[in-house]
Structures are given as structure tokens and as C-alpha cells.
């Protein structure tokens, strides 16, 4: 009898971060996978395309025969060796294909012939993906969501990181939400953003031993960079009570200087070397201003670009305080006040970081 991991174990294997071997083709893997998975395909993209075409034109048996002819001999042995090498390092691995069908069964059989008995996941990627989407929808309906809001630079993400009843949407999206929010590393695909969000929700449920525990999230737009918050979950966020963390203008300027200037400049230089890093950092700042040109208006955009350019020509970083102050005072703060007025009836508490922590702990 085949060694199969049933659907009832999806939650546990995802929470345990069990190593997974994804035997789908690379093109499938890059669209979406699970965070603990490595792509060791049974067929590469070209082979999969040929087999797929054959299946449509001549049926399953012809496609199977073609697959065996394409992945045979040294190619077959090379793939078995790659699986065995990974399993030697991670002996508690499971494998999966798209639907838990032929590719999983064939991989399992080849491994068994090589002396390795490895379970494959019932329903494959498709079924586990459906489980994760259902997890997000369930949380949207059943978790009492509470939104942390506050002016730009007020340390909302930092606040979120200090709570064990919160999840970090920006961390999952690998983007800080604002026009300056991109990170040096790429954002996940939309599918991977959703998969990782669902796993964060499962972890939250496990930690609190209940599926309807209070869930704290940061106030976000529908899009975090290019990652879209699932519609049902975003709707629940929009209807949730709002708590506001407050910090002074100068504290917020200092935080943005640290986040968008000091940290990003250092990271670009570490990634690309000193000169290329400085050039990439300059492009990052100027492009971030350009991204909001329409909302700034031409005159304000040009003024800010000039201030950024002047700051970049200085050897020290203090020159950047000028454009940060102007951007906060003339763009971000007015926009925040406008948005705050629209959600005034949802605000349940305002205060410093310490006061908000205390209020949340008491409620």
C-alpha cells in the first residue's frame, strides 16, 4: 500500500515546517509553493510541456510512455540522486506534485526502487493550497481583528513585533507599505504571499490554542507593494476596531531617517559594493519620490527631488532630514488625517506605544 500523508495532517506538517520535496516543474514552483519546500522536479519545463501536449493529443498512456522516454537513463538517475541527497540531509521529508497523482506516485516508486520509502501528500499542492485559502477565509470570519494605525513613522511595525497576538503583514509581503517601502530582496509572488499569510494565521491559532483569538494587524492598504491582501480578509480589516499609536513629529522623522536612509544605504552598499550601492540607493530614493508624483503635484515633486539630490551630494546623512520633514508635513500627515477622519467611528483607543500595549493587555 502506498505511503500517503492524509489531508488531516496538512495543518501539522505546515506548522512543524516539515521539509518538502516539490516534484513539479520549475515554472509551477515559481508561481507558488510552500516556504519549507525545495524544487527537485521529476520533469523540467520543456519535458513537462511535451508530455502535456502529448496527453491532450494522444491520451494518458502515450503521455506516460513519452515521459519515461524523456526521463530515462542518466537523466532519471540524476533526478533520483538529487532526491536521495536531499532526503539524506532531511530524512523526515514528504514529497508532493500538483494533485498527488502520477508524478508523486512515480517519484515514490523510483525512490522505493532505490531503497528509500518516502510518503507523498494526498491531493498534492492543489489540495494544500485550497486548505490555506480556507484558513484565511476562516480567520477573516472568525478572528476578532484589531487594527493598529498611526501616522507614518510612528513605529507600527515595531509595535506589531512586540506582540504575540499580532501578525506582520508587511513582513510577509517583504514591503513596508509606503512609496519608500520596497526592500532590496524581491517580494514573494501573490500566491506565496497568501500561502505565508495562511501559515502565519495557523501559527497564531496554535499559539493561542484557539481559532478565534484576538488578531492584531497593522493598518494597510489593499496592496502592500504589489502583494494584494486577500479580499475577504481585507474587508474584515476595514470593518475592525482601530487603535492608534502616537509619536511626536521629531520621533517619526528620526525613525524614517533610520529606516529609509541609514538602513537602506547600508544594505545597498553591502549588496552591491560601495559605489554601485550608493548609485542604487540614490535611484531608490528618487524613484520613491517619482512613484507619488501625481499625488504630490509637479511643483512639490520637483522641490523634494531637489532636496534629495542635494542630500545625496553630501558625505554625511544629516542632509536627508530636510526632505523627510517636508514629505511628512506636506504629504504623509495630511493624507493620514484625511484617512483618519473616514475611520473616526472605529477608533477605540489612542496613546503612546506603552499606553497602547497596556490597553491591549487589559482588553
For the chain, the maximum distance between any two Cα atoms, rounded to a whole number of angstroms, is: 72
- Looking at 54, 84, 97, 269, which residue is catalytic? 97
Q: Are 172 and 217 in contact (CB under 8 A)?
A: no
Regarding beta strands 94-96 and 20-22, do their DSSP bridges make them parallel or antiparallel, or are they unpaired?
Answer: parallel
Active-site residue flag, 54: no
Report the distance separating Cα 270 and Cα 281, nearest Å.
11
Q: Which three cell numbers stand for residue 286?
A: 528618487
What's the grid cell of residue 238? 476595514
HSE (side-chain half, CA atoms, 13 Å) at 172: 26
Q: C-alpha cell of 104?
A: 508523486
Selection from 94, 102, 116, 121 nearest residue 40 by Cα: 94
Long-range contacts of 8-13 (CB under 8 A, 24+ apart): 10/121, 10/127, 10/128, 10/131, 11/131, 11/202, 13/94, 13/121
Q: CB neighbours (10 Å) of residue 189?
A: 15
**Exposed, middle or buried, 151 (CB in 10 Å: 0-12/13-18/19+)?**
buried
Tell me the CA end-to-end span of the chain in Å, nearest whole number.
53
Q: Is the dihedral of CA 163, 141, 349, 255 positive or negative?
A: positive
Half-sphere exposure of 309 (CA within 13 A, CB side): 7
C-alpha cell at 51: 508530455
So which residues are the catalytic ones? 97
Amino acid at each position: 500500500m502506498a505511503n500517503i500523508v492524509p489531508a488531516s495532517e496538512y495543518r501539522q506538517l505546515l506548522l512543524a515546517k516539515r521539509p518538502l520535496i516539490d516534484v513539479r516543474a520549475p515554472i509551477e514552483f515559481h508561481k507558488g509553493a510552500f516556504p519549507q519546500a525545495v524544487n527537485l522536479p521529476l520533469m523540467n519545463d520543456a519535458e513537462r510541456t511535451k508530455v502535456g501536449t502529448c496527453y491532450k493529443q494522444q491520451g494518458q498512456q502515450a503521455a506516460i510512455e513519452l515521459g519515461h522516454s524523456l526521463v530515462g537513463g542518466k537523466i532519471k538517475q540524476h533526478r533520483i540522486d538529487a532526491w536521495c541527497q536531499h532526503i539524506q540531509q532531511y530524512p523526515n521529508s514528504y514529497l508532493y506534485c500538483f494533485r498527488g497523482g502520477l508524478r508523486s506516485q512515480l517519484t515514490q516508486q523510483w525512490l522505493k526502487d532505490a531503497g528509500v520509502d518516502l510518503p507523498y501528500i494526498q491531493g498534492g499542492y492543489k489540495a494544500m493550497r485550497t486548505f490555506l485559502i480556507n484558513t484565511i477565509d476562516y480567520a477573516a470570519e472568525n478572528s476578532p481583528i484589531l487594527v493598529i494605525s498611526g501616522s507614518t513613522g510612528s513605529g507600527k511595525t515595531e509595535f506589531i513585533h512586540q506582540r504575540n497576538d499580532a501578525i506582520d503583514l508587511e513582513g510577509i509581503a517583504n514591503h513596508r507599505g509606503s512609496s519608500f517601502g520596497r526592500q532590496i530582496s524581491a517580494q514573494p509572488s501573490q500566491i506565496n504571499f497568501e500561502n505565508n499569510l495562511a501559515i502565519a494565521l495557523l501559527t497564531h491559532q496554535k499559539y493561542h490554542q484557539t481559532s478565534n483569538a484576538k488578531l492584531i494587524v497593522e493598518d494597510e492598504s489593499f496592496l502592500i507593494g504589489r502583494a494584494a491582501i486577500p479580499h475577504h480578509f481585507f474587508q474584515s480589516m476595514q470593518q475592525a476596531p482601530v487603535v492608534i499609536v502616537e509619536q511626536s513629529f521629531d520621533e517619526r522623522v528620526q525613525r524614517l531617517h533610520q529606516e529609509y536612509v541609514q538602513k537602506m544605504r547600508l544594505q545597498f552598499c553591502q549588496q552591491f559594493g560601495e559605489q554601485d550601492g550608493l548609485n542604487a540607493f540614490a535611484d531608490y530614493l528618487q524613484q520613491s519620490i517619482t512613484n507619488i508624483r501625481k499625488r504630490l503635484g509637479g511643483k512639490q515633486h520637483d522641490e523634494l527631488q531637489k532636496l534629495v539630490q542635494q542630500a545625496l551630494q553630501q558625505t554625511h546623512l544629516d542632509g536627508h532630514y530636510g526632505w523627510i520633514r517636508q514629505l511628512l508635513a506636506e504629504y504623509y500627515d495630511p493624507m493620514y488625517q484625511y484617512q483618519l477622519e473616514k475611520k473616526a467611528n472605529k477608533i477605540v483607543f489612542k496613546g503612546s506605544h506603552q499606553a497602547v500595549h497596556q490597553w491591549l493587555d487589559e482588553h
